[in-house]
């Protein structure tokens, strides 16, 4: 690989008890069940410095689907962008709040668990959680940022609302940034298995070893088999109507464009949804193409920053990780400017090269890691959704 | 000769991408690594959409990025819009297997 940056890149981050580094310092109110999400929201309205999210999970789930949801909750709490967590349960649900809380506490950060049924209802629970949150937010505010290397960053990458420019401008530029992150000793996550169908051979050829190559083919086959078992044409969901309007004709075409986000480095491992990477370098997380579900999986897997390319435009953000949104074309960047952070349409316009934009993305990662707010953070775009792999019972 | 920009990604490709809306009957020059191919567009091609740079037989693979992106549903003449009406994806087709 050619050397793209000469200097070692650093940023100011928050060191956590487990040694990992955050770029934000949130107190997370983590509802482990749908029934607790509204109560959690009320607390975020009362106590500044807290974040939460709405979801429909946490009860009547079994087997691997149960495990995946539990892993996602715990991963959100353990993400180093979170200073401390108040785990909020109802009391009777399958995903017991105290179990999730115990799991998060293993990483050494402050964790408290509260149950609505034990506290005699919504209002008393709000008061209890808010009191804990006030103390936790003040403690969080005492943590000073320290100088950290880019090698401590896990950067998620995704594309959503793709158009025919995605594979020509923003995705290759993110691929260039991915190469530079790996060169700095950091980790880049490639996700959305669905949108790699038709490009798996290109990634398998870059696998660190046979096992990784086999897993790359295996996760593609599992994803493709889901559509075959349902007897459906995957195109009824992907490419989406917006993709087709933008000029993408098939899933393979979309995949070839999507895979350019992975750059050119060796594929070190293929990991499960919401799993924390065990290796540095380029890592493929098995997620669906659904924007929010893949975003949630990567953030639960420890990504502190996410790069998100879009051709059609999207407001998406995460409650705990800054999402840097990169447009594939300039007209959309101008039309949806309050949602987009960087423009890679300059490549299509012939003003900048893929290398230029890749370097601009790296600079933005540094600034955002230092505290610059992304558009999605400013607009409180707190999206969260877990990839369900089983029915609810 | 028009000055509309198009993008041809790999020498194996059977399609090129329009980098702006291009009206029908326009003669565009597609630059490949080895030669310039002149193609007369048979219909309007919108920004980001594809057109055939050479004739593609029915059932033949359609190539972009040097890789297969689907097969031709019908004969596609050079200069024609290539999209969901005449290109069929080959992957994730549970509907085909279930038949």
Segment A39-59, tens digit of pLDDT: 999 999 999 999 999 999 999
Mark which of A141, A170, A194 sits at the end of a domain: A141
Q: Is residue B1 part of a domain?
A: no
Q: Is residue A272 part of a domain?
A: yes
- CA nearest to A3, candidates A186, A179, A207, A259: A179
Mark which of A89, A111, A141 sits at the end of a domain: A141
Q: Is residue B99 part of a domain?
A: no
Element spanning B22, H or E: none
Same domain, A199 and A339: yes
| CATH assignment at residue A130 | 3.40.50.2300
Query: Distance (Å, rounded) from C-alpha A350 to C-alpha A229?
Result: 45
Give me the phi and psi of A253, to 5 degrees please: -65, -45
The verdict on A348 touching B (C-beta cutoff 8 Å) is: yes
pLDDT of residue A235: 58
Inter-CA distances, B48 with A163, A273, B5, B19, Å:
7, 32, 11, 6
Same domain, A34 and A181: no
Same domain, A64 and A155: no
Same domain, A194 and A82: no
C-alpha distance from B30 to closest chain A C-alpha (Å)? 15
| CATH assignment at residue B50 | 2.30.130.110
H-type alpha helices, chain A: 37-46, 63-78, 97-105, 122-141, 170-183, 200-204, 210-229, 241-245, 251-258, 291-300, 330-335, 345-348, 354-370, 375-378
Same domain, A189 and A239: yes
Give the domain extent around B43.
6-93
For residue A153, say if its preceding peptide bond is cis, omega within 30 degrees of 0. Answer: no
pLDDT tens digit sequence for A9-46: 999 999 999 999 999 999 999 999 999 999 999 999 99
The verdict on A196 touching B (C-beta cutoff 8 Å) is: no
pLDDT of residue A187: 98
Tokens of B47: 């920004």
C-alpha distance from A173 to closest chain B C-alpha (Å)? 16
A238 band by pLDDT with thresholds 50, 70 and 90: low
Task: Say which residue, B33 or A329, is predicted with more confidence.
Answer: A329
pLDDT at A231 > cutoff 90: no
Query: Distance (Å, rounded) from C-alpha A226 to C-alpha A292?
Result: 20
Same domain, A234 and A358: yes
The verdict on A18 touching B (C-beta cutoff 8 Å) is: no
Counting every residue, how long is chain A? 393
Q: Which residues of B touch A256 (CB under 8 A)?
A: 64-65, 67, 69
Give the domain extent around A255.
151-378
Same domain, A107 and A189: no
Tokens of A77: 């709490």
Q: Is residue A102 part of a domain?
A: yes
Domain count, chain B: 1
Q: What is the ipTM of this complex?
A: 0.90
Burial code (b: 16+ CB inside 10 Å, e: under 16) for A7-20 equals eebbbebbbbeeeb
Same domain, A207 and A65: no
Tokens of A294: 């893949």
Domain count, chain A: 2
Tokens of B81: 């819009």
pLDDT of residue A162: 87
A165/B69 CB distance under 8 A: no
B26 band by pLDDT with thresholds 50, 70 and 90: very high
Mean pLDDT of all residues in B7-36: 92
Inter-CA distances, A174 with A324, B45, B60, B96, Å:
11, 28, 32, 35
Calculate the CA dihedral of residues B24, A165, A332, A362 and round it to 10 degrees. Answer: -160
Percent of chain A whose predicted confidence (pLDDT) is above 70: 97
Q: Is residue A115 part of a domain?
A: yes
| pLDDT mean across residues, chain A | 94
Mark which of A141, A171, A188 sits at the end of a domain: A141
């Amino acid at each position: 690989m050619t050397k793209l940056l000469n200097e070692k890149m650093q940023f100011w981050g928050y060191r956590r008890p487990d040694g990992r580094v955050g770029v934000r310092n949130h107190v997370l109110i983590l509802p482990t069940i749908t029934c607790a999400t509204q109560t959690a929201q009320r607390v975020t309205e009362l106590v500044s410095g807290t974040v939460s999210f709405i979801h429909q999970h946490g009860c009547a789930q079994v087997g691997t689907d149960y495990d995946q949801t539990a892993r996602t909750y715990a991963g959100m709490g353990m993400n180093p962008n979170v200073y401390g967590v108040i785990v909020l349960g109802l009391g009777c649900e399958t995903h017991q709040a105290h179990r999730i809380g115990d799991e998060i506490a293993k990483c050494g950060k402050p964790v408290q668990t509260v149950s609505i049924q034990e506290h005699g209802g919504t209002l008393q629970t709000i008061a209890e959680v808010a009191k804990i949150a006030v103390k936790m937010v003040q403690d969080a505010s005492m943590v000073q940022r320290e100088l950290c290397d880019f090698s401590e960053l896990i950067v998620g990458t995704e594309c959503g609302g793709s158009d025919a420019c995605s594979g020509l401008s923003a995705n290759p530029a993110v691929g260039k940034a991915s190469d530079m992150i790996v060169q700095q000793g950091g980790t880049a996550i490639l996700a959305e298995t669905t949108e790699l169908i038709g490009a798996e051979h290109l990634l398998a050829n870059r696998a660190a070893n046979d096992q990784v190559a086999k897993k790359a083919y295996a996760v593609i086959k599992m994803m493709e088999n889901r559509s075959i078992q349902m007897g459906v044409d995957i195109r009824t969901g992907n490419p989406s109507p917006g993709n087709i309007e933008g000029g993408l004709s098939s899933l393979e075409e979309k995949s070839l464009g999507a895979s350019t986000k992975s750059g050119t480095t060796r594929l070190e491992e293929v990991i499960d949804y919401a799993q924390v990477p065990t290796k540095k370098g380029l890592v493929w997380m098995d997620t669906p193409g659904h924007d929010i579900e893949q975003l949630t999986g990567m953030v639960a897997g420890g990504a502190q920053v996410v790069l998100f390319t879009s051709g059609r435009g999207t407001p998406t953000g995460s409650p705990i990780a800054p999402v840097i949104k990169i447009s594939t074309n300039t007209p959309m960047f101008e039309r949806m400017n309050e949602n987009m952070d960087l423009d890679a349409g300059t490549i299509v316009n012939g003003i900048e090269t893929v290398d230029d934009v890749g370097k601009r993305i790296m600079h933005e990662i540094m600034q955002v890691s230092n505290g610059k707010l992304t558009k999605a953070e400013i607009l409180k775009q707190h999206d969260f959704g877990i990839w369900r792999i089983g029915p609810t019972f | 000769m028009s000055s509309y920009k198009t993008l041809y990604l790999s020498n194996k490709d059977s399609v090129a991408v329009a980098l702006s809306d291009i009206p029908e009957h326009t003669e565009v020059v597609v630059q490949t690594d080895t030669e310039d191919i002149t193609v007369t567009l048979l219909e309007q091609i919108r920004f980001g959409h594809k057109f055939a740079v050479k004739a593609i037989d029915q059932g033949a693979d359609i190539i972009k990025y040097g890789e297969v992106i689907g097969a031709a549903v019908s004969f596609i003449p050079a200069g024609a819009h290539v999209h969901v009406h005449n290109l069929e994806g080959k992957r994730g087709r549970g509907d085909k297997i279930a038949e």
